[in-house]
Structure 1
Amino acid sequence: MDLFADDSALMPIPIEDGELWFQQRLALDLTPAEAMQRLLDETDWREEQIQVWGKLHMQPRLSAWHGDARYRYSGKLFHPLPFTPLQLHIKQAVEQATGRQFNSLLLNYYRDERDRMGFHADNEPTLGLNPAIASVSFGSPRTFILKHRTLPKTVKLALGDGCLLLMAGSLQHHWLHGINKERAPRGPRINLTFRNILREP
């Protein structure tokens, strides 16, 4: 199933076993292109080494962790840098659009079509039982894919420049999500995922 919403408000996308919401353009005081360039310039991007199935790998993207709490995933403990003024502005807009509060931010920089995100669920105990994950994208569009854990169901959503995606409810228990590498050339993309850490690891 291929989905793409075209609305200025956060709208629900019908999905089993969880909540999925999409907004075509998050309301900000700057253009997506301006936000993209500032994020590129103001972020201390790192190529992290993570553990997957007992083996160490370099992540196929660059990343950064900001906010108020430490975070552990893929066998690595991330210590946060403070929110930047731009990140706080985007966070405020996300909280207003979603009605949720967030204290942490993971930034991922996809340099081209070869960079990707493996399929996973954001289900770490530090996020609570049914975490809300808000994702804002800038730059070249990429296809976000959700795969149900037990049912033969797949959802594909084109994440374009300046869009907002919210995953909530029991979605992380029942679905995996990721972004595949692509054959067609793709320009750079930055994705911000806001989350609320309830307790530090």
Structure 2
Amino acid sequence: MEYQTTLFALDAPGTAPLAPERRVLSHGAWVDVQRSWLGEADDVFRTMVDEVPWHAEQRQMYDRVVAVPRLLHMYGVGAPLPHPRLAEAREALSAHYLPELGEPFVTAGCCFYRDGHDSVAWHGDTIGRGRNHDTMVAIVSLGDPRRLLLRPREGGRSIAVTMGHGDLVVMGGSCQRTWEHAVPKQAHAGPRISVQFRPLNVF
């Protein structure tokens, strides 16, 4: 897999203190954004491309089986993460959001968008406790910028958050059950990795 870290922002030596900007949505949902949060983002990206055991999946879609348009890997509870910066990031997120979330982030789902053809359709993380309870999903984005779209489930205008190299986006409150999110296909895009930190039993 070819990639060019020279296209990405220069790294700071360490993860910046957490000071995200919050956008309040409807129905108790919100989104936090902090730009260029993850330190050593180039090194984290290279390590993940080379060392994460990426795999392709297929899913039933109506009357046929289709390929999932991205590569995947899940680090479950207690599994070591592929780069120390990611472990530090999860600890920092757990400490910062503990007063609201009431529990730590314990898993890390990873998606590898190889180019602009890879995507994820509209959905909410509602398998598990996210179906009935407020929760959080914290996303660290690495690589080429891609748009995260969000729209209310009951209908209404969507909003877009561009996720750049090392950026942090946290969806919280009722966001997973009252809003949906997607990463659409893009005409021209290089590789991108998304790391989604979640609490226990949120998928």
Counterpart in the other structure of 1:16? 26
- 1:199–1:136 distance in 2 versus 1, CA, 3 Å: closer
Number of aligned residue pairs: 179
Displacement of 1:94: 2.9
Matches within 5 A, 1:116-131: 116-127=119-130, 129-131=133-135
User: Pick from 175, 187, 190: which aligns with 2:190?
Assistant: 187
**Aligned counterpart, 1:26:** 37
RMSD, aligned CA = 2.3
**Corresponding position of 1:159:** 163
Correspondence for 1:46: 55
In structure 2, the residue corresponding to 1:56 is in which secondary structure? strand
> Displaced runs of 4+ in structure 1, greater than 3 A?
51-55, 96-100
- Identify the residue that residue 89 of structure 2 maps to in structure 1: 90
Q: Deviations over 1:85-116 (max 9, x none)?
A: 52423322332444451111110000001000
What one-letter code is carried by the residue in structure 2 that aligns with 1:48? E
TM-score by length of 1: 0.80
Report the Cα distance in structure 2 between the residues aligned to 1:186 and 1:126, rounded to whole angstroms: 34
Does the alignment pair 1:64 with 2:73?
A: yes
Question: Structure 1 residues 49, 39: CA separation in 2 closer, same or farther (over 3 Å shift)?
Answer: same
- Quote the Cα distance in structure 1 between the aligned partners of 2:200 and 2:64: 26
Q: Which runs of no fewer than 5 residues in structure 1 stay unpaired?
A: 1-6, 70-81
TM-score, scaled to structure 2: 0.79
The verdict on how the C-alpha distance between 1:85 and 1:36 changes in structure 2, with shifts beyond 3 A counting, is closer
Q: Does 1:139 align with 2:143?
A: yes
